[in-house]
């Protein structure tokens, strides 16, 4: 039977198929080496034998590394008829993998043969080789560091040999010591050792890719001996032995029995049990003595102690630290200074309250177990009467009538401190002035004053809650030794939002000044609640509000301002800020028949508090009021229209552009209008200068065309001269100055134009147009025709003379003088027109 192995995605699902028949193994893999350096190439070949008759004549050989197909196989037929496929893997990056030679068999991939490939590194050189001689087990224990992982099976062996010199010559070999798998230490038993003879020791590491050896270590086993630590214990009390001094410990130890014959030295370390102090080292300890007194420690303090030893003066290794021993130092008498302060009870002046505070004079001043207040009567020598014995920092006792001074001492099991005298003096010193206090933060108060003159020796400052509560009736106090101080920051027993009573008393030599008191809050609070809003009056678009301010409270910061908020149904919010003295406010600009929510906020430097919400609705406008409003609006619109019409009709500048004002000749007053000047003056040409010309317009004389009335009856019309004279269509300047208003009732005197010319000049006349926009009587063109002007002759001397009257002149002058408008025409300014 032939056994075919099937490749699958995972080797755990590899199925071995046994096919019936007389098949032998068809394929075989040969590799150059099954173990290589990680990342090196590897070459393999697969040969299919000729006796596999069930295979195709040219079967295709496939390669798989793990679960992945590997391309690049080169297949060929050998001379003996076998098929060979060769593949080279350029980089083997797997530390362990299976290489398989496969064929397609039916619908599956069948394995013909497979080999295991390994990749890794050669062993590194072992380092840090060290050995210790353990007298307990009588063996030499050596340890080392194996180095980085090789990914290959690596064996270690501790090799050694005996040598009489400095390990330059190798003597008898010692059996290799092979450690257990995964361990990097090994022990050489005592039977293979010579304790006082040199021996060479090294570690050899070996795997399939190479071998490495550590540097050789040359030593004597006894030079690397490691002793076991001694056992610490306390000394048994002895009546003959003196008790230990304060801050000292007496201890002893028992050495390790196997090392009694070995010279050694020891050292001690200790640290307090409380806190996180580091170890303090003491040593070397005396060789002969097995006991020691350790001093310089804190009194009444528990300590932890350990000891270790080493072979000395010969080479060796320190033993491990011994198990810990816990001891407590003895106490010492308190070395403190007691600051005292006293006061008498108001109801019973002979009852004294004495207060004190210990001030350490040294770093280790000793633990205090209690205090004693005593009095020595003057008549009894050596008699001391105790007045108070307490563990507190105050005491209340009745003072004997003859007692003026008492003594205070602190004590413990080791003794008492120096007595502190307390003299009950009267208050006869000057008092300090301007005592004040203020809060610095929620947990501190600053108290200041002006020192009296002369300066005191110090001050006593007391503070406590006011009024004092049953749970905290005791006041806190301290003594300020600087007599020139002007203030002190209180930080002890200060809680926020509390009222404190602070008392400052100056201290003098054998006297004290009167006490001064001041009250202060450690931190003021915001107002508890805001005033309640009340609606006083309301209208359609306004609402008048009022409130009653809250009375001031102790511990509450004074108000700085109010803020009133109102919100409509559209969730639009409005606000305004008012002074703290405000008692009411009027909301304007509200919508009629609208709902509003209003609340008041009271604010101080410590915070703000909102009041209750007031909801109100503005009034609804009545129907009659709507009618009145609409009527007033309509009347106002009518008056505006009438005023606009009157303005358009009465203003000439606005009326003329709309409809020109053309007078009716039949009802005109021109017929009755007669100028103030005489008729003979209208045609006299006095030698007047030419009037000033504001605007000069030169026009070409139009070609004479017959008028419509000239074509009907030429005999009834007089012929007009072709040359025109100079004329001025204007009123008489003298009449204008003498009569501001004309007789015809016209308000303004209108200047129409001035035509300049000469009857003897060959060229046409020149017309000066006026700037006036007043319309003429008829719809004539602005430029006058030749027959509409008077014309004159020029004398040889250059002056204008009136020609003699003739029939033709009568036709011109006679009928024309009947027109009142022409009577105002005056001809002048002809003297300077020769240049035209």
Residue 60 CA: distances (Å) to CA of 28, 101, 104, 606? 15, 10, 7, 93
pLDDT at 811 over 80: no
Residue 154 CA: distances (Å) to CA of 33, 183, 354, 497, 831? 18, 12, 84, 76, 146
Mean predicted confidence (pLDDT) in 789-817? 45
Span of 220-229, 634-643, 667-676, 717-726 with lowest mean pLDDT: 717-726
Q: What are phi and psi of 681, to 5 degrees?
A: -80, -15
- Residue 138 shares a structural domain with residue 181: yes
Rounded CA separation 559/36 (Å) = 89
**Residue 514 corresponds to which tokens in the numbers above?**
């009167």
pLDDT at 226: 86
Q: What are phi and psi of 249, to 5 degrees?
A: -130, 140
- Residue 192 shares a structural domain with residue 101: no
Q: Which of 365, 301, 369, 300 is nearest to 337 (CA)?
A: 365
Rounded CA separation 733/738 (Å) = 9
More confident residue, 279 or 509: 279
Mean pLDDT value across the chain: 75
Rounded CA separation 158/216 (Å) = 11
pLDDT at 47 over 70: yes
- Residue 349 shares a structural domain with residue 324: no
Range from 131-145, 729-743, 785-799 that averages highest in pLDDT: 131-145
What's the pLDDT tens digit per position in 136-147? 888 889 999 988
pLDDT at 825 over 80: no
Length of the chain: 836
pLDDT at 278 over 60: yes
**Residue 583 corresponds to which tokens in the numbers above?**
């008692």
pLDDT at 584 over 90: yes
Mean predicted confidence (pLDDT) in 305-332? 88
**284 cis-preceded (ω within 30 degrees of 0):** yes
Rounded CA separation 229/136 (Å) = 12
Q: Which of 33, 353, 90 is nearest to 208 (CA)?
A: 33
Report helix, strand or coil for 11. Answer: helix
As to burial, measured by CB atoms within 10 angstroms (0-12 exposed, 13-18 middle, 19+ buried), residue 421 is: exposed
pLDDT at 783: 52
More confident residue, 753 or 635: 635
Specify the DSSP element, H or E, that contains 711: helix 708-712
More confident residue, 753 or 281: 281
What's the pLDDT tens digit per position in 361-409? 777 777 788 999 988 887 666 678 888 899 988 888 888 877 788 899 9
Mean predicted confidence (pLDDT) in 632-637? 90
What's the pLDDT tens digit per position in 220-244? 888 888 888 888 888 877 666 666 7
Q: Strand pairing partners for 640?
A: none
pLDDT at 578: 93
pLDDT at 305: 93
- Residue 232 shares a structural domain with residue 220: no
Q: Strand pairing partners for 100?
A: 64, 114
Span of 12-21, 178-187, 295-304, 644-653 with lowest mean pLDDT: 12-21
Place of tokens 């000069």: 696
User: Which of 197, 225, 253 is the last residue before a domain boundary?
Assistant: 225
656 found inside a domain: no
pLDDT at 654: 57
CA end-to-end distance (rounded Å), the chain: 151
User: Which of 366, 390, 416 is the last residue before a domain boundary?
Assistant: 416
Rounded CA separation 480/463 (Å) = 14
629 found inside a domain: no
Q: Are strands 185-189 and 173-177 parallel, antiparallel or unpaired?
A: unpaired
Q: What is the pTM of this model?
A: 0.44
What's the pLDDT tens digit per position in 456-485? 888 888 888 877 654 445 688 888 888 888
Report helix, strand or coil for 489. Answer: strand
451 found inside a domain: yes
Mean predicted confidence (pLDDT) in 412-440? 83
- Residue 506 shares a structural domain with residue 570: no
Number of domains in the chain: 6
Residues 6 or more apart from 720 whose CB is under 8 A from it?
786, 787, 812
Mean predicted confidence (pLDDT) in 408-428? 83
C-beta separation of 111 from 202 below 8 A = no
Q: Are strands 108-120 and 35-37 parallel, antiparallel or unpaired?
A: parallel
C-beta separation of 600 from 533 below 8 A = yes
**Residue 556 corresponds to which tokens in the numbers above?**
């509450």
* Sign of the dihedral defined by the CA atoms of residues 521, 525, 528, 530, in that order: positive
Q: Strand pairing partners for 18?
A: 3
pLDDT at 767: 46
SS (H, E, C) 155-222: EEEEEEEECCCCCCCCCCEEEEECCCCCCCEEEEEHHHCCCCCCEEEEEEEEECCEEEECCCEEECHH
Report helix, strand or coil for 652. Answer: helix
Domain that holds residue 342: 336-416
Q: Which of 823, 768, 832 is nearest to 800 (CA)?
A: 832
As to burial, measured by CB atoms within 10 angstroms (0-12 exposed, 13-18 middle, 19+ buried), residue 196 is: exposed
pLDDT at 769 over 90: no
More confident residue, 534 or 719: 534
SS (H, E, C) 381-448: CCCCEEEEEECCCEEEEECCCCCCEEEEEEEECCEECCCEEEECCCECCCCCEEEEEEEEECCEEEEE
C-beta separation of 481 from 340 below 8 A = no
668 found inside a domain: no
- Residue 143 shares a structural domain with residue 221: yes
pLDDT at 604: 85
**Residue 751 corresponds to which tokens in the numbers above?**
């200047």
Rounded CA separation 709/630 (Å) = 65
What's the pLDDT tens digit per position in 83-124? 888 998 888 888 899 998 888 777 788 888 889 999 999 999
C-beta separation of 496 from 521 below 8 A = no
Q: What one-character DSSP code corresponds to residue 813?
A: H
- Residue 232 shares a structural domain with residue 266: yes
CA atoms within 13 A on the CB side of 178: 4
Q: What one-character DSSP code corresponds to residue 602?
A: E
pLDDT at 170: 81
- Residue 324 shares a structural domain with residue 346: no
Q: What one-character DSSP code corresponds to residue 570?
A: T
Burial letters for 96-133: b for 16+ Cβ neighbours within 10 Å, e otherwise?
Answer: ebbbbbbbebeeebbbbbbbebbbbbbbbebeebebbb
Rounded CA separation 90/78 (Å) = 25
Q: Strand pairing partners for 832?
A: none
Span of 96-105, 600-609, 647-656 with lowest mean pLDDT: 647-656
Confidence of residue 669 (pLDDT cuts 50, 70, 90): low
Rounded CA separation 430/727 (Å) = 120
- Residue 411 shares a structural domain with residue 444: no
817 found inside a domain: no
pLDDT at 693: 46
> Percent of the chain having pLDDT more than 90?
14
Q: Are strands 225-226 and 127-134 parallel, antiparallel or unpaired?
A: parallel
pLDDT at 304 over 90: yes
Rounded CA separation 154/305 (Å) = 45
- Residue 69 shares a structural domain with residue 42: yes
pLDDT at 788 over 50: no
- Residue 347 shares a structural domain with residue 374: yes
Mean predicted confidence (pLDDT) in 591-602? 91
Mean predicted confidence (pLDDT) in 767-783? 48
Q: Strand pairing partners for 537?
A: 544
453 found inside a domain: yes
Rounded CA separation 753/749 (Å) = 13
Confidence of residue 713 (pLDDT cuts 50, 70, 90): very low
The 10 Å Cβ neighbour count of residue 453 is: 8
C-beta separation of 618 from 594 below 8 A = yes
> Percent of the chain having pLDDT more than 70?
70
pLDDT at 57: 64
As to burial, measured by CB atoms within 10 angstroms (0-12 exposed, 13-18 middle, 19+ buried), residue 836 is: middle
pLDDT at 330 over 70: yes
pLDDT at 721: 44
pLDDT at 732: 44
Q: Which of 535, 533, 560 is nearest to 548 (CA)?
A: 533
Rounded CA separation 158/156 (Å) = 7
More confident residue, 334 or 802: 334
Q: What are phi and psi of 326, to 5 degrees?
A: -110, 125
CATH of the domain at 77: 2.60.40.10
C-beta separation of 444 from 489 below 8 A = yes
Vertex 626: Cα angle to 594 and 588 (nearest 5): 40
pLDDT at 798 over 50: no
635 found inside a domain: no
User: Which of 416, 443, 474 is the last residue before a domain boundary?
Assistant: 416
pLDDT at 730: 41
719 found inside a domain: no
Q: What are phi and psi of 422, to 5 degrees?
A: -125, 115
Rounded CA separation 122/202 (Å) = 18
- Residue 451 shares a structural domain with residue 395: no
More confident residue, 573 or 627: 573
pLDDT at 806 over 60: no
What's the pLDDT tens digit per position in 261-270? 888 888 999 9
């Amino acid at each position: 039977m032939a056994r075919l192995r099937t490749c699958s995605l995972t080797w755990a699902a590899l199925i071995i198929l046994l096919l019936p028949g007389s098949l032998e193994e068809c394929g075989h893999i040969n590799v150059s080496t099954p173990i290589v350096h990680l990342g090196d190439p590897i070459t393999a070949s697969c040969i299919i034998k000729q006796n596999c008759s069930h295979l195709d004549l040219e079967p295709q050989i496939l390669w798989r590394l793990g679960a992945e197909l590997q391309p690049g196989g080169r297949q060929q037929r050998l001379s003996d008829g076998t098929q060979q496929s060769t593949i080279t893997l350029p980089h083997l990056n797997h530390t362990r993998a299976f290489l398989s030679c496969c064929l397609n068999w039916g619908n599956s991939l069948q394995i013909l043969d497979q080999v295991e490939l390994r990749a890794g590194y050669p062993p590194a050189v072992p380092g840090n080789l060290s050995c210790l001689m353990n007298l307990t087990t009588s063996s030499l224990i050596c340890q080392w560091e194996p180095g980085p992982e090789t990914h290959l099976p690596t064996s270690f062996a501790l090799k050694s040999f005996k040598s009489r010199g400095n390990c330059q010559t190798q003597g008898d070999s010692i059996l290799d010591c092979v450690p257990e798998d995964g361990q990097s230490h090994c022990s050489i038993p005592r039977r293979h050792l010579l304790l006082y003879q040199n021996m060479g020791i090294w570690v050899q590491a070996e795997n399939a890719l190479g071998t490495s050896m550590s540097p050789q270590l040359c030593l004597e086993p006894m030079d690397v001996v490691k002793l076991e630590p001694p056992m610490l214990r306390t000394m048994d009390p002895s009546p003959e032995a003196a008790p230990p001094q304060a801050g000292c410990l007496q201890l002893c130890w028992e050495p390790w029995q196997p090392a009694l014959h070995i010279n050694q030295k020891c050292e001690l370390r200790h640290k307090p049990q409380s806190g996180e102090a580091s170890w303090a080292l003491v040593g070397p300890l005396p060789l002969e003595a097995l006991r020691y007194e350790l001093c310089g420690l804190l009194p009444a303090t528990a300590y932890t102690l350990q000891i270790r030893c080493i072979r000395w003066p010969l080479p060796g290794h320190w033993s491990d630290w011994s198990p810990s021993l816990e001891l407590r130092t003895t106490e010492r008498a308190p070395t403190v200074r007691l600051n005292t302060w006293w006061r008498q009870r108001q109801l019973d002046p002979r009852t004294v309250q004495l207060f004190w505070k210990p001030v350490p004079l040294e770093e280790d001043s000793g633990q205090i177990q209690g205090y004693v207040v005593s009095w020595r009567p003057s008549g009894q020598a050596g008699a001391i009467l105790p007045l108070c014995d307490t563990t507190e920092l105050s005491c209340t006792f009745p003072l004997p009538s003859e007692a003026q001074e008492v003594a205070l001492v602190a004590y413990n099991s080791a003794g008492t401190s120096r007595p502190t005298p307390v003299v009950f003096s009267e208050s006869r010193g000057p008092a300090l002035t301007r005592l004040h206090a203020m809060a610095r933060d929620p947990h501190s108060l600053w108290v200041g004053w002006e020192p009296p003159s002369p300066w005191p020796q110090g001050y006593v400052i007391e503070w406590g809650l006011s009024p004092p509560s049953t749970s905290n009736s005791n006041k806190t106090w301290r003594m300020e030794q600087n007599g020139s101080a002007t203030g002190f920051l209180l930080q002890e027993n200060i809680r926020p939002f509390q009222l404190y009573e602070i008392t400052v008393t100056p201290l003098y030599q054998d006297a004290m000044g009167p006490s001064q008191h001041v009250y202060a809050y450690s931190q003021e609070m915001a107002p508890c609640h805001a005033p309640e809003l009340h609606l006083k009056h309301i209208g359609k678009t306004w609402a008048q509000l009022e409130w009653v301010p809250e009375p001031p409270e102790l511990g509450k910061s004074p108000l700085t301002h109010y803020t009133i908020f109102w919100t409509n149904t559209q969730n639009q919010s409005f606000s305004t800020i008012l002074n703290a003295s405000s008692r009411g406010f009027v909301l304007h600009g509200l919508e009629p028949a609208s709902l509003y929510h209003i609340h008041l906020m009271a604010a101080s430097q410590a915070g703000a508090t909102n009041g209750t919400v007031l909801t109100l609705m503005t009034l609804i406008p009545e129907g009659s009021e709507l009618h009145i409003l609409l009527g007033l609006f309509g009347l106002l619109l009518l008056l505006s229209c009438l005023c606009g019409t009157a303005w358009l009709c009465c203003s000439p500048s606005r009326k003329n552009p709309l409809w020109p004002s053309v007078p009716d000749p039949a009802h005109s007053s021109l017929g009755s209008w007669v100028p103030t000047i005489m008729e003979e003056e209208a045609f006299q040409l006095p030698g007047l200068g030419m009037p000033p010309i504001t605007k000069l317009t030169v026009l070409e004389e139009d070609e004479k065309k017959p008028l419509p009335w000239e074509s009907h009856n030429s005999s009834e019309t007089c012929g007009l001269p072709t040359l025109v004279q100079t004329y001025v269509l204007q009123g008489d300047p003298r009449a204008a100055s003498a009569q501001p208003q004309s007789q015809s009732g016209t308000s303004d005197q209108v200047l129409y134009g001035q035509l300049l010319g000469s009857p003897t000049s060959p060229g046409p006349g020149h017309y000066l147009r006026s700037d006036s926009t007043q319309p003429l009587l008829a719809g004539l063109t602005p430029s006058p025709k030749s027959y509409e002007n008077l014309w004159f002759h020029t004398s040889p001397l250059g002056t204008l003379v009136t020609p003699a009257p003739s029939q033709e002149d009568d036709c011109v002058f006679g009928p024309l003088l009947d027109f009142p408008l022409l009577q105002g025409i005056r001809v002048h300014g002809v003297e300077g027109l020769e240049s035209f």
